Structure formats: structure tokens, C-alpha cells
Structure 1
Amino acid sequence: MDIIATLNEIVTLSVEDRIRIVQAIWDTIAAEQVYPDLTDSQKQELDRRIGDYNSNPDNVLTWEEIKASISKHKIKA
């Protein structure tokens, strides 16, 4: 398979079709459940966040609270 030739064909498609291709590719990756290894800094950040949650389990926001906060702080053009 010539990846460059395939990519050159893909860029000629509509954005909608390219999004469909990306979604289809992602679905095949997700189905295999193979994920890249985390870097050390990513592991440390996850450990920090888990530790923070374990220390402060009540210090969380619901999805609704987050959306409301974002909406409240949007800059109006």
C-alpha cells in the first residue's frame, strides 16, 4: 500500500468524507484496544490527579456545572 498516494486521494475528498474516514479508522483502532504507552510525565500527571481526587473526593464539579461555568465566561463578540 502506498500511503502517500492514498493520502493524496483522501485530500481530494470533501471534509465530510474525510471525517467519515477518520472515524472509521479510529473505530478499527478502538476495536483492537491497543493504546500507545504513556510517557513518564503523563503517568506522573495521572498519579497526581488520582492522588488529588483521593485526598479531596468532594472537590469535584458535575458536567452541568462545568458547562454552566464555561457559558458564563464566554467572551461575546
Structure 2
Amino acid sequence: MGLALIAVALLIGLGALGTAIGFALLGGKLLEGSARQPELAPMLQGKMFLIAGLLDAVPMIGVGIAMYVLFVVVPGLA
């Protein structure tokens, strides 16, 4: 039971950490690209929002799996 709770904490925590690092890199590259070629800024921003949506979907799947483990698997172990 304790290992399942640690797994849930790691799944949510590392998913959030990975997403935060991904958003930081994505935002930095957007600013870098916009500074180099300002005329491409609207196109880059549109692509950035598309990738940000996809990047945000990965930890949401992880949260769903973690909630499944927490509320379905762990009560079954008790």
C-alpha cells in the first residue's frame, strides 16, 4: 500500500516537474525565435500554443492514472 502511494506521488510530481521544464524551454525558444525574426512571431506563437496544449496533455494522463491507482487499486489492497 505504501509503495502505491509513493508511486502516485512520483507520478504526479515528476509529471509536473517535466511539464514545467518543457514550458520553460518552449517559452525560451519562442522568445529567442521572435527576437531573431520578429516577422515570424505570430506563426511561432500559434505553434507554441499548439505544442503547449500537447505538452500539457501528458501530465493530465499521468494524473488520471495516478487517481486510478489511488482510488481503485489502493483501496483494494487494504
Whether TM-score is above 0.5 comes out as: no
TM-score, structure 2 as length reference: 0.30
More helix by share: 2
TM-score, structure 1 as length reference: 0.30
Of structures 1 and 2, the one scoring higher in RCO (CA 8 A, sep 6+) is: 2
